[in-house]
Amino acid sequence: MAGEAEKTHAALWPGLIALAAATGYLIALLAAENQALIISLLTAGIAAVIAAAWLRLLNHASRSFEDHEDVLGGFAILAAFAVAVVFHEDHFVLLLVTTVLLYTVATLGLNIQFGYAGVLNFAGASFFGIGAYTSAVLNAHTALPHLIVLAIGGLLAALIGSLLLLPVLRTRGHYAAVVTIAFALLFKTFLEVNDVLGGPQGMQVPGMKILGWTFNDNVSIGKIALSFYMNYFMVSLLLLIGAFIVVRRLERSWIGLNLDALRLDETAASCFGLDIVRWKITAFLIGNFLIGIAGSLFGMVGSFVAPNNYTFADSLILVSILLLGGIGNPWGLIVATLIVVIVPEKLQTIQEYRFLLYALLVIGVLLFRPQGLLPRPVRRYFPGWRP
């Protein structure tokens, strides 16, 4: 009987091996400087993944992740620390990794909106920008504690996002997406003409301080000097862990079920009592809150905000991460963000053509693996739970 196979737990080790291999590979890729070496590493990586998929090794790994998510999540945090320890004094790499962490938080927010509730948001970068500008203004002009500034960044993104709710709720599918595109374009223009916010030149963002701990100072422990980005790395990692847990619990609850139900069939969902508007609003606001917090912290990390960093094109990058990673699968989003953020930075030769790379990646995924690199598995309310 088909039910019997499900009752045996998957082993932990395939997941562990996959995680260790990915971490080792990532460290090698980040350490490589020589373009020829980077290109051969990338080629080898792609070949290894395809080979593993052919040999069905990836299935073992993903089943292992499904059953032991909590343990493997803990190891994933260790893996992130391992990367940070290896590059503890390298500003550039730590900034890159921190960027990956914060973009992942933002795409987790988009994932709630699009992946679960089916509301396509093409203004992700705008809401990210709202968070960043919130940090710029509040850090420069007020003495508000910076953790509260982060929360305000999230709340403002949700609040300003609710301006969009009325048109988004009254339209469906492509039309709702067009409303968000219009917002993204308006937002950039608004920033450019607004002198209080620095106009097209943008503005400086004072760095983060928590209880006298100044993030923009380099840290040294004994004789070991750490890059100041290590501070931001830690806070970003904490934020990602928090966002990941929220998204996971949301999916694995009746609310996640509601969102799936209304995305897949609104009529059937309302025939079983779902309040479509309530759940779309809930998803949109929680999603925007996550995007806003991530943007707020990103503003402090980058110490500078300008309208050109939050354009429609940047929103498209966020959406392409979602498509690439596997809509609805938070693990897939981490992998996809790593690819989309790190590959163009390391491959200097394609810097100019990075949008072409994204376009090719998305087209390739849609053609050959429409559910993304790591497709979303069937919902399990509690990992490893058996009746």
- List binders of another protein among 294-323 (CB under 8 A): none
216 lies in the binding site for another protein (CB under 8 A): no
169 lies in the binding site for another protein (CB under 8 A): no
For another protein, the closer CB: 226 or 257: 257
What the block records as the tokens of 302 is 């980058």
CA–CA dist 182, 83 (Å, integer) = 39
269 lies in the binding site for another protein (CB under 8 A): yes
* In the complex, least distance from residue 245 CB atom to another protein, rounded to whole angstroms: 9
DSSP per-residue letters across 225-246: EE-THHHHHHHHHHHHHHHHHH
CA–CA dist 29, 50 (Å, integer) = 18
CA–CA dist 329, 377 (Å, integer) = 8
282 lies in the binding site for another protein (CB under 8 A): yes
Applying CB under 8 A, which of residues 175, 224, 381, 384 lies at the interface with another protein? 381
Of 94-102, 116-124, 256-264, 317-325, which part binds another protein (CB under 8 A)? 256-264
* In the complex, least distance from residue 65 CB atom to another protein, rounded to whole angstroms: 17
With tokens 């058996």, the residue in question is 386
Environment class of residue 274 by beta-carbon count within 10 Å: exposed (0-12), middle (13-18) or buried (19+)? middle
Nearest to 293 by CA among 230, 231, 243: 243
* In the complex, least distance from residue 281 CB atom to another protein, rounded to whole angstroms: 12
Of 15-23, 130-138, 141-149, 259-267, which part binds another protein (CB under 8 A)? 259-267
With tokens 């090719």, the residue in question is 360
CA–CA dist 125, 115 (Å, integer) = 17
Beta strands in 117-158, from DSSP E residues, in sequence order = none
4 lies in the binding site for another protein (CB under 8 A): yes
**Interface mask toward another protein for 221-250; x: CB under 8 A:** -------------------------x--xx
* In the complex, least distance from residue 3 CB atom to another protein, rounded to whole angstroms: 3
273 lies in the binding site for another protein (CB under 8 A): yes
Query: With contact defined as beta carbons under 8 Å apart, do 272 and 137 qualify?
Result: no
Of 20-28, 199-207, 273-281, 346-354, which part binds another protein (CB under 8 A)? 273-281
CA–CA dist 241, 236 (Å, integer) = 9
352 lies in the binding site for another protein (CB under 8 A): no
191 lies in the binding site for another protein (CB under 8 A): no
For another protein, the closer CB: 222 or 387: 387
Dihedrals phi, psi of 214, to nearest 5 degrees: -90, 120
- Please report, as ranges, the residues that interact with another protein according to CB under 8 A: 1-4, 6, 246, 249-250, 253-255, 257-258, 260-261, 264-265, 267-275, 282, 378-382, 387
